Amino acid sequence: MTIKDCFIKKEEFMRLLFTKIDGVDTYELSMWLKSQTDDEWVVVPREFCVLMVLFLERQAVAKEHLLFNFQKVLGQLQEIKRYL
């Protein structure tokens, strides 16, 4: 899977900002981003991502004998953790 950048026109972003008198909360921003990228991008809390990586690490260790390249899987999870 390849992650690609999505570009949103400045006018669309400005329209969002100017239609919200009191500002934009995180839910509104996340739903707007999802709609602007045809559901390719979603916003989730960082803590959810951290917990998911920890879960996957535990699963990888528990299933070490089933994984084709156990060290590669753990290395990829470490890369994700550095990003978070």
Judged by DSSP in three states, 74 sits in helix
Residues 6+ apart with CB under 8 A from 32: 16, 24
Q: What is the pLDDT of residues 31-66, one digit of tens each?
A: 999 999 888 888 888 999 999 999 988 888 887 777
- What is the average pLDDT score of the chain? 84
From residue 51, give the alpha-carbon distance in Å to each of 34, 40, 82, 83. Answer: 22, 22, 14, 14
Q: What is the pLDDT of residue 1?
A: 58
Q: What is the pLDDT of residue 67?
A: 63
Can you give the length of the chain in residues?
84
pLDDT band at 70 (very low <50, low <70, confident <90, very high): confident
This prediction has a pTM of 0.60
Cβ–Cβ contacts within 10 Å for residue 21, how many? 5
Q: What is the pLDDT of residue 2?
A: 67
